[in-house]
Structure 1
């Protein structure tokens, strides 16, 4: 059995290599599973920056087989800003699909290589579908959609359904509207049949759900009963300490911070900052820090001021268009 100090060094929370399931992630995952069941060819999942889109992809990759009950291959690609070139496009896909020879040959050879590689992957999975998440998909250019469409059609001729989820900032809606205005229905019908806005935490129950994840569901080591809260507040946990007991104090701290720093246009808290705020509480006030027996509003205020929420929210505010649907009181 490793010592607590050793466990602390490699703890996923310290390493930040874990995925906390917010209610937004759980709801989005359930919807995506239903889309896969219906075999829709593609959908847009969009959100403002820092809401947790990449964590959603990570959560689905880690939990899909168990939750969905089928071993459908899943791949994810973070799209970059670059000039649209056919060679580059297929090199990126071959590389992300772990092909041994992603960069050699002409574009037409890479097309065939990608098709044959995907056919092999799908055949080995004993399914007829393959899922690809394209993160930062608002960077995709028109030509790249056309090459992706060629790939979809090529695979379809071989009995394979390519399901593409475009995960992007909300600026992808401009691309969608431009394509629709130009009647590019082939692209829309393949990759944009549904749209879903992925939000941050907007209601009290959203925060309660997330706190409960740390209290009861996130564990390390995974085969132990050491939830993240229990590991950092070990003695207090045995006496009934739970982060969710201090939900009201967290909400009061949020209201204070939003008023103090004029974060007033909307009450949507990005998932990234909500998680980092909780991390700050566990690290700073658990047994490896001040080791308090109870949390108060000031503890949460300090955590919110330390986690990047203020500067991040103000930068988003400066760029955003006011959307009445964000005006939900905590």
Structure 2
């Protein structure tokens, strides 16, 4: 369905208002190509690292939706989010893993039973899908301790003995690189060889081209309600959209506003805009200045400046410059 009548969306439920949506970026495309190669080569593991709030977790979610189109709809692909504990616990580790992969019984039994349950779950899923492989993303992987890798290696080896290849993709902050250096010094070749040989640095928006690609998603790829033909830009700026305005064309203005505000704040580090602050900026601009808000004719630099300041980006960058 594609209609000229603006669809009714209950207040507060549009993805721009909830923040629950995924759009590809240049960096996600580059990361996708790298991870696809790792999986295609049946690589045991690799690291994806970058500064906080840069968009790594959203990128994982996007890949989890997209990778099955590359490797088959039944690709067994899972994500574990690392919790922070005072001391590593085998019981908690396998409990968290079972819970995050969606096992029906994550909490019952001792640690060894949970480990066996996880192994059997992975084995059954790999054989059911005829893929003979398991893909596991581990988010906030900088929280893992050496013993966690030993437990992961046990699962990897057991699956390998049954003809199932497992690819573990560690996603986290730059501490991952320091952890690998520590493992090199302590001659932990097994951990490095299994999970840390390959690496990819995930970066934020660095130039106008990157920004334009991100903004174009709001014009072209986004749609809500599904099947309505109404992109996010069209929904919040229907008249401007009808007249040919696209938010992608604001890339130069927004990037200029960022550059100027950084200069005014005395921030000297090269520009690398985390996706968290970029999306907060765009969402604020659409909510505040779109048809549901002030209903301005179209966005200008003053609007983008207000939206960017509201996102907290400049304050966050000031902190980054200090540390």
Scaled by the length of structure 2, the TM-score of the pair is 0.94
Contact 1:90–1:111 (CA under 8 A) maintained in structure 2:
yes
Structure 2: 5+ residue stretches without partners? none
CA shift, 1:269, in A, is 0.8
Aligned to 2:196: 192
Note the C-alpha offset of 1:259.
1.1
Distance in structure 1 (CA, Å) of the matches to 2:196 and 2:135: 14
Q: Is the counterpart of residue 137 in structure 1 residue 173 in structure 2?
A: no
Question: Following superposition of structure 1 onto structure 2, how do residues 1-330 of structure 1 map, counting pairs within 5 Å?
Answer: 4-82=7-85, 83-319=87-323
Aligned equivalents of 2:139, 2:277: Cα separation in 1: 20
* Residue pair 1:22, 1:271 contacting (<8 A) in 2 also: no
What whole-Å deviation, never above 9, does each CA across 1:196-251 have from its counterpart, x for those lacking one? 10001011100010111111111112222111101111111010011122222112
Distance 1:279 1:68, change over 3 A: farther
2: CA distance between counterparts of 1:225 and 1:68?
Answer: 29
* Alpha-carbon separation, structure 1, partners of 2:114 and 2:172: 26
Whether the 8 Å contact between 2:218 and 2:232 is mirrored in structure 1 is yes
Q: 1:145 to 1:105 in 2, by over 3 A?
A: same
- Indicate the SS of the match to 1:183: coil
Residues paired across the two proteins, number: 319
Q: Which consecutive segments of 4 or more residues in structure 1 shift more than 4 A? A: 1-5, 67-70
Supply the RMSD in Å over aligned alpha carbons. 1.7
1:70 offset after TM fit, Å?
4.8
Change in CA separation of 1:102 and 1:246 when aligned onto 2, cut-off 3 Å: closer
8 Å contact 2:237–2:298 — kept in the other structure? Answer: no
Once the two structures are superposed, residues 270-296 of structure 1 have per-residue CA deviations (whole angstroms, 9 ceiling, x without a partner) of: 111111111111111111112222322
Q: Do the aligned partners of residues 68 and 311 (structure 1) sit closer, same or farther apart at CA in structure 2, a change above 3 Å counting? A: farther
Comparing 13-22 and 195-204, the one that deviates more: 13-22
**Residue aligning to 1:328:** none
